[in-house]
Structure 1
Amino acid sequence: MTAKSTTKPQILYSCYYSRSREGENFIPEHVFSYQISGEMIASDSKNTYTSKEGDFRFSRRNHLAKFVKIPPEGGEFKTISLFLDQEILREISAEYNFKINKKTDSEAMISLAPNPLYKSFMESLISYLEVEQENNEALFHLKIKEAVHLLLKVNPELKDILFDFNEPGKIDLEAFMNKNFHFNVHLTRFAYLTGRSLATFKRDFQKVFQETPGKWLLNKRLQEAYYLINQGRPPSEVYIGVGFEDLSHFSFSFKKKFGIVPSSLFSK
């Protein structure tokens, strides 16, 4: 795997030679992406999204999603992604008086129809990204602003997403956790997405589940893993799907809880 990025990774050119998965399953900023080659499959708690060569996508901030990057046969997985951080968006909002008309509840990812303006813009970035990135922050700042204006020109409906600076409000903790326990994120992320401080999240969690978040997440993920393996899914697939980072830690925890290693259950 190779990756080149700015000092502050606002624009990222990624190249992968083998199938890979992301680490933490959280989208902290809006992302405008171009799939140069290969395929990316993303999934949230409701939908699966597929991006193929030549596709453009918009990933929405403050969403949980899992990503699998698949290179073409004998080739490389390549993407360009622009991270539209809140500081730049606030700057544009103040300069042009962009305000949202209504709050939207769109999906984690939005497929953007092919457009020659998108393609020429993304291709123009490649030469910048293939050279040394040092001292290019001012240039990339301008390119991010250009990308935002381009998105607004081609997809004006994105304005109500781009300039919505509201943070997540307090929501039903039990429903959210039962729906999203399999995402590999830190407790601070779960707390933030449910509209709570970490301390309040832990306190409310204890009231709802009568257990600490760490213990509940471990048991919930192991129970789900047991069910999936018992249904014929291989442990090497299951452990990532239920939120574990490491296969050896998963196997150790599984045996401690159920008295057998995952492979034993799979081979039955």
Structure 2
Amino acid sequence: MYFKRLGALGAEIPVAVVDGLTLDLRPLTADITGDFLGSDPVGTVRRALIDLSELPGADNLRVGAPVARPNSVYCIGMNYAAHAREGGSEPPQRIVVFMKPSHTVAGPNDDFPASPGADKIDWEVELALIVGRRAWQIGDDEDPLAAIAGYTVANDLSERAWQLEESGGQWSKGKSGPGFLPLGPMLVAASELDASDLRLRSFVNGEPRQDSRTSDLIFDLPTLVRDLSQYTVLEPGDVILTGTPEGVALSGRFPYLKVGDVMEIEIEGLGRQRQMVVAESGSHE
């Protein structure tokens, strides 16, 4: 079983895919929210299967981000040793944390709007954790992954000049533009997938860029969730990005993205994204 949100931007329909059937979840929840994810979503759906019907035309609908607008998006930086070094840093001794605003979240196949002045746009494939239970200062005798509802694919898009040259010493400027966080296509429940050793890959215009495994993380999933909870309260629906492997444009081995380029991002067991870079048009509120 996995969860998706299908339909036009702002009008997505929550669904569960069970045994190949795309089931409309609106009898159970208005959306895939923190409240739904914190209330045993897999069990809830299984108990209600007899009352759920297929969503007509599901295959023809836009795929939205698999979780409704999160309260917080936490990002773990430099969590693959080779990526830290390709950016000119030594691997960290403690988790490095920065934030992305929730308005960065986009659908997995939405066009990516290149903002004016964004000349160093970079891709980053990442495993994303979706929080399903409130957690604060998780103890050594507790399982940190019990706080995680599920997993999805993320592209932590970055504008490197904004992030590093104009940053003033922090990274969020280069991480916060519109569309800078495609999520999806699906949210796989934590009970359905072991995410400790999944292959992550990225491509630009069909050419391979990143290729690694989540087993190469410096801080593994339980460690980073436990550590993050020491400093902030994790709430249902929050998103945690776990870091990106080497193979980005920041390395100097590849050109930065330009209008017309196509990114493809995939993680084993979690699906594939595709974004075309387009010129931004209009204003964003």
Where on the TM-score scale, by shorter chain, does this alignment land: which range? under 0.3
Higher strand share: 2
Higher relative contact order (CA 8 A, sep 6+): 2
TM-score, length of structure 2 as denominator length: 0.24
Larger Rg: 1
The structure with more helix, counted as a fraction of residues: 1
TM-score (norm 1): 0.25
